[in-house]
Amino acid sequence: MKRHEAITALTNTKGWDVIVIGGGASGLGAALDATTRGFRTLLLEAHDFAKGTSSRSTKLVHGGVRYLAQGNIGLVREALYERGLLARNAAHLFVNQSFIVPNYRWWEGPYYRLGFSIYDALDGRLSLGRSRYLSAGKTLSRLPTVNKSGLKGAVVYQDGQFDDARLAVNLAQTITEQGGVALNHMRVVDLIRDEGTGRLCGVIARDELGELGAHSGAARAAGQMHTLRAKVIVNATGVFTNEILAMSDPAKGRLVVPSQGAHLVLDHSFLASRDALMIPKTPDGRVLFVIPWHGCALIGTTDTRVAEVSEEPRALESEIEFLLNTAGAYLAKKPTRRDVRCVFAGLRPLAAPKDGEKRTKEISRSHKILVSEAGLVSLIGGKWTTYRRMAEEVIDKAIEVGGLPQAACKTRSLAIHGSVAPAPAKPLDRASPLSHYGSDGVAIRALQAAAPELSTRLHPAHPFTLAEVVWAIRDEMAETIEDVLARRVGLLWRDARAAIEAAPRVAEVFVSERAWTAARAESQIAAFTALAKGYLLDPEM
C-alpha cells in the first residue's frame, strides 16, 4: 500500500462507483464492502486512517454488557456475532480476553453470574468461552492487585480485545489488495451537484501533503485539488458528519452529537495480570475497565457530553479524577496523576436524541443510515465491534441510491490483511513483539536480517524497532512522524514521553526513505512534540 500509487490511480480513473469520505472504522468498512462487491471504490481521509475516534477506543470487541442491562438484546446479539467474525477474519489482532468482576456484597455473585449466563447464551456458536464463578482465593491468585477488603469472590467472563489502529491500517491494505483505492491526508472540501438533477455526482478533494508525500521524484505541490466523479457518495466521517452533511444540505440541523470517552494508561504493575478487571457499576451508572494492553494497564472509559468536536480532544480534569478514583477504589495500589503514561480521549459519534436533555450514556449505540435530498448517504453512530455489519447495510443503501447493480456482500468470511489463523495445536504467539503484524511479521524480520541496524529499538524501554518504521513508510502509507508513532507502532498511546524521545529517530528514517530535508525533519519533530505533550498530564515534568 503506497500513497504515490494511490495518487496515480486517483488521477487515472475517470469515474468512480462509490466515493467514501472518512477513514475510520465506518469508512474503511464501507469502502472494503463496496470494493469486494466489484464497485470502483475510492476512500478519502482528511488526516490519517483512524486519526480520530477509531484509534481512541477502549480496545474492546464486545457485545456490551451495559446494553444487556438496558434490555437491548438485539444490539448485544448482533455485536456478539460480529465479534466472532472479527476473531476469525483478523485473528492476528484479536485476543480472547478474560474479564474478572469482583464481588464485595453477598448478592453480587449470583446476580452477575445470572447476567453473564444470558450474555453467554447470546453468542451462540461463536462463543469465546463460558462465564464462571471464582472464589475469593482464586480471584486473588488471578488478579493479585485487586482490593482485598471485603472481597467475596468474582465472576469471570470472556470477551474480545483488539488493536484498533492496526486494524484500521490492515483494512486500508485489504481495500488496496481487493482493487480499491484508499488515500489518507486527502481532504474533501466540497461536494459536486449535477446541474440538471441537483443530485450529488462527485467531490472536490485537496491533497494535504503535497511534497511531504512525494516518492521517487514524483514531487507535488501542497494543496493540489482533485475533482472526482462518482455515482454515489458515502459520508462516514463520525463526529464530523454534520460538516459534510452541511455541504449537501446547509439547512439540515445537527444529526450527530459528540460524547467524549477518556482513557488513562499506567504501568502494568497496577494490574499485574493477564486478566482484565471490570468494575460493574460506577457512580454515574457505567462500567469501567482496567485492561492489560501491550505491557500497560489501560483504564477506560468515561461518557461525557461535549459541545464541540475537535481533531485532538482533551480529557477533562473531571474525567481524569473520575478514572483515577474509580479504578483506585478497586485496586490495592492506588494510581495517581504521576503514574499516568498517557491520557487520551475520543469522541463517539452518537445519533442526536429527540430529547436534547438525554444523557449520552442512554443514547443508543445502534447506527443509523440517512439519505439527504441530494443523495448523500450518511452513516451515523455505531462502534468498532459492528463496523462490518454497518458497512454492509450502508453499501446496500448506496446501491439503491446510486442505481448500482445488485451485488452480494462478501465480507463475512473475508480475511483481513495480515490475518494468520492459529494452528489447531499451537495458539498464536502473543508474546512476540511483531505478533500484531500477523503475516507481515515475516517481511519485517527479513528487513532486520538484511540490515541488522534496523533491529535497533526506537526507545530502550519499548520493543519497537527501526525496521517497523521502514515498513510503515514503505508499505503502510505512513507519511508523518505522528502516523508512525501513533497509528503504526502505537508508542504514543502507551508512553507519550517515550514517543517524544523517539521522534528524532523516526525523522532520520524519513530523511533516508523520503529524502526529507533537515528543515522538514525539524518541523515534523516540533509538530509531533507539541501534539504528544497533549497526551501527558504534566508535560513539563
201 with 247, same domain: the answer is yes
> What is the predicted pLDDT for the residue at 459?
97
pLDDT in tens, 76-115: 899 999 999 999 999 999 999 999 999 999 999 999 999 9
| pTM given for the model | 0.95
- Residue 448, domain extent: 435-533
pLDDT in tens, 32-51: 999 999 999 999 999 999 99
The amino acid at 498 = A
- Determine the Cα–Cα distance for residues 154 and 408; give it in Å rounded to an integer: 45
Contact 207, 185 (CB under 8 A): yes
> What is the predicted pLDDT for the residue at 217?
46
Average model confidence (pLDDT) for the chain?
A: 92
* Domain-embedded: residue 233: yes
Beta-bridge mates of residue 331? 146
> What is the predicted pLDDT for the residue at 153?
97
Supply 379's cell numbers: 452513516
Cα-Cα end-to-end distance for the chain = 39
Residue 425, pLDDT > 50, answer: no
pLDDT in tens, 286-305: 899 999 999 999 999 999 99
385 with 508, same domain: the answer is no
* Domain-embedded: residue 279: yes
Of the listed ranges 75-89, 170-184, 447-461, 486-500, the one predicted with least confidence: 75-89
277 with 394, same domain: the answer is no
Beta-bridge mates of residue 181? 42
> What is the predicted pLDDT for the residue at 323?
97
Residue 534, pLDDT > 90, answer: yes
* Domain-embedded: residue 414: no
Helix 466-475, helix 441-450: angle, nearest 10: 120
pLDDT in tens, 364-407: 457 899 999 999 999 998 899 999 999 999 999 999 999 999 99
Q: Which helix (H) or strand (E) holds 406?
A: none
* Domain-embedded: residue 64: no
Q: State the residue for C-alpha cell 528524532.
A: 504
Residue 164, pLDDT > 60, answer: yes
> What is the predicted pLDDT for the residue at 532?
98
Q: How confident is the model at residue 141 (pLDDT cuts 50, 70, 90)?
A: very high
114 with 102, same domain: the answer is yes
Beta-bridge mates of residue 102? 154
Residue 231, pLDDT > 70, answer: yes
211 with 347, same domain: the answer is no
Residue 360, pLDDT > 70, answer: no
Of the listed ranges 227-236, 431-440, 453-462, the one predicted with least confidence: 431-440
- CA torsion sign for 117, 119, 122, 123 is negative
* Domain-embedded: residue 192: yes
- Determine the Cα–Cα distance for residues 14 and 121; give it in Å rounded to an integer: 50
502 with 527, same domain: the answer is yes
- Determine the Cα–Cα distance for residues 255 and 52; give it in Å rounded to an integer: 19
Count of domains observed in the chain: 3
Tell which residue, 320, 296, 271, has the closest CA to residue 102: 271
> What is the predicted pLDDT for the residue at 355?
52
* Domain-embedded: residue 419: no
Q: How confident is the model at residue 285 (pLDDT cuts 50, 70, 90)?
A: confident
Q: Which helix (H) or strand (E) holds 132?
A: strand 132-135
pLDDT in tens, 112-132: 999 999 999 998 888 899 999
276 with 348, same domain: the answer is yes
Residue 254, pLDDT > 90, answer: no
465 with 519, same domain: the answer is yes
Mean pLDDT, range 207-217, rounded to an integer: 62
Of the listed ranges 62-71, 128-137, 172-181, 295-304, the one predicted with least confidence: 62-71
* Domain-embedded: residue 423: no
Burial class (CB in 10 A: 0-12, 13-18, 19+), 225: exposed
Mean pLDDT, range 321-325, rounded to an integer: 97
CATH of the domain at 145: 3.30.9.10
Tell which residue, 290, 312, 277, 295, has the closest CA to residue 494: 295
448 with 519, same domain: the answer is yes
441 with 506, same domain: the answer is yes
329 with 349, same domain: the answer is yes
154 with 296, same domain: the answer is yes
Express as a percent the part of the chain with pLDDT over 70: 93
Of the listed ranges 66-70, 218-222, 445-449, 506-510, the one predicted with least confidence: 218-222
* Domain-embedded: residue 83: no
> What is the predicted pLDDT for the residue at 113?
92
Tell which residue, 151, 209, 295, 194, has the closest CA to residue 478: 209
Residue 426, pLDDT > 80, answer: no
Contact 347, 377 (CB under 8 A): no
pLDDT in tens, 6-23: 999 999 999 999 999 999
Mean pLDDT, range 141-165, rounded to an integer: 97
